[in-house]
Amino acid sequence: MPSLNTIAYYLFHVGELRSIVQWSVWHNPVHERDESKESENLKRCFHFLKLTSRSFASVIQELHPELLVPMTVFYLVLRGLDTIEDDMTIDIGPKEPLLRDFHKHLEDEEWTFDGSGPNEKDRSLLVEFNCVAKEFNKMKKEYQVIIKDIAKKMGNGMADYCKDAAFNKEGVQTVQDYEQYCHYVAGLVGEGCTRMFVEGKLANPVLLQRPELIESMGQFLQQTNIIRDIHEDNVDKRYFWPKEVWSKYVKSLPDLFLPENRELALQCQSEMVLIALRRADECLFYMAGVREQSVFNFVAIPQSMAIATLELCFNNYTMFERNIKITKGQACHLMTQSTQNLQLVCDIFREYARKIHRKNRPQDPHFLDISIACANIEKFIESIFPTQTARTLPKSGEQRPTAVDPETEERRKREEAESRQDMIYIMLAVVTTLVIISGSMIGVAWFFGARFDLAFSAMKDGVKEISGKMGAAAPAASPSEAVHVEL
């Protein structure tokens, strides 16, 4: 049952309510799971997918059949790793080998783990992890290799961070460290997904030769989350904003939350937004390389959500006071737009780039850089979907300002004259129609007894009254004028 607040919100944001209805009524999945053909074990895996993921469960389940199971397994493997990494009840002693060797258990249909803390919400996944291994062993060898490779890299990366005392105590140091961290938790996921898309022939293989595009996809999502979660992470005393950035504004990261540092906090925030925003054009570039609709939806939805979230965070001090997120209505609108084609996703990016540009404040030291980053998104979109308006030159560009020969010039003039004549006829038709319609309406009103004479005389009185008032008001203004003169 929605809260009273929610109801009030949507009463005043009918457009967003419409988006929710639109998404829930009109959204047709590109592909649907065929549950009748699924084994009990696979159903169990989907059960865990829904249990562990808020946002990814539905997009994964709508994926092309080729990738449906591999992507589900990939997600559950990563979720398993994440659950171990996050678990503060496991000592670094046993945790390190668990993370580093996690990829070795993927084929082991016996391996399960029940050492998670009682409060870990995803502990049941690890307790029954062998159902994931069973599906893993049934998939194509190629997908197994990819998932195993990513699990190995990520497990080792996570183990390194868990062991890193300075990181655990003081958080991330440089911007490079920050991007490195995002690489381990998100960039690698992007790499795995892209390799699977290409393996399934659902994305352009050229993407694999542009690792920077893949990296930007993950960085953009992860950095946005890190920016948005600053309040929550501060409560948990986990610091992901790099010291290299915040130290320009405050002595210690928690100082950002002090009321007297409000302006500094906003400046720090805008620098973080800027670092993320510079990735946005490469994300669009990546999405242009996706071939299949369900894969496109899978990659585009999180990206659209990310740019909207980034805009929500930008220049918004509330972010330091409590957790913020985009509304359900906004999310539904973004999902509808992101499940069609690249052009609509570009429209979203342009829309939010402009919103950020409008919220940008000149007193912010990053003002111009943010403006350039927003313009750069628009510039990229312009390169794939050129603007065509009355103010742009025709695409050929060859058309000379002067006519080439008298014959064409003559023909052009004749055509112009014809179109002008057409225009006159159309206008005439429109005016005639209007006269007939309004004439018959007034006629009907008169027939049923409308008193136009009363209306006219009332109008006349009204005009008189207004002019009378204005006449009376004029002298009233003179005393104040006199005051001005005296002063």
Partner 1 sequence: MRGPKRSLEVLMTGGSGFLGRGIVERLLTQHPEWRISILDLHPPPDNLRKRIAQFIPADISSAQSVNNAFVEYSPDLVVHTAGIVPARKDRYSTDPKQWEKVKAINYGGTRNVLDAAMSSGCRKFLYTSSCTVIIDDLDHDYYNMDESIPVGRATLHYGKSKGMAESYVLAPELASLGLQACALRPATIIGPEDTAVMSLIHDLIRKGETYFIVGDGENFYDWMYIDNAVQAHILAIENLLTTQTAAGQAFFISNQEPVYFWDAFAFIWAQFGHVPKYRIHIPTAIAWFVALILEIMTWFTGNAPTIDRGSVKDGMRTHYSNNAKAMKVLGYMPEVPLTEGIRRACDGYKKHLAAQAAQNGETKKER
Q: Give the footprint of partner 1 on this chain (CB under 8 A).
A: 354, 357-358, 360-363, 367-369, 371-372, 374-376, 378-379, 382-383, 386-387, 389, 391-393, 397-398, 400-401
* Contacts with 14 (C-beta within 8 Å, 6 or more apart), sequence order: none
3-class secondary-structure state, position 344: helix
Spatial separation of the C-alpha atoms in residues 238 and 443, rounded to whole Å = 77
Cβ partners under 8 Å of residue 74, min gap 6: 143, 146, 147, 150, 192, 193, 196
**Cα–Cα distance for residue pair 460/466, rounded to 1 Å:** 10
Two tokens, residue 72: 């589900």
Q: Active-site residue among 181, 184, 296, 380?
A: 181
Active site residue 249: no
CA distance readout (Å), 383 to 68, 353, 378, 386: 34, 16, 9, 6
Residue whose CB is less far from partner 1, 181 or 285? 285
3-state class (DSSP) for residue 290: strand
Q: Which of 64, 81, 67, 74 is CA-nearest to residue 146?
A: 74
Sign of the torsion angle spanned by Cα atoms 366, 370, 376, 379: negative
Catalytic residue among 33, 79, 195, 228: 228
Catalytically annotated residue among 298, 314, 320, 352? 298
d(CA 280, CA 313): 16
Write the secondary structure of 11-64 as one string of H (helix), E (strand) and C (coil): HHCHHHHHHHHHHHHHCCCCCCCCHHHCCHHHHHHHHHHHHHCCCHHHHHHCCC
Rounded to a whole number of angstroms, the minimum distance from the CB of residue 192 to partner 1 is 34
Q: Which two tokens stand for residue 214?
A: 């893949």
Burial per residue of 146-172, b for 16 or more beta-carbon CB atoms within 10 angstroms, e otherwise: bbbebbbbbbbbbbebbeeeebeeebb
Q: Can you tell me whether residue 409 is helix, strand or coil?
A: helix
Cα 176 to chain center, whole Å? 24
Catalytic residue status for 425: no
DSSP letter at 204 equals: -
Answer whether 304's CB lies under 8 Å from 337's CB.
yes
Residue 35 or residue 398: which is nearer to partner 1 going by CB? 398
298 classed as catalytic:
yes
DSSP lists the bridge partners of residue 203 as: 290
Q: Which of 277, 457, 468 is nearest to 374 (CA)?
A: 277
- Tokens 């990261």 belong to 253
The yes-or-no answer on residue 239 being catalytic is: no
Q: Which is nearer to partner 1, 264 or 372 (CB)?
A: 372
- Residue positions annotated with a catalytic role: 181, 228, 238, 298
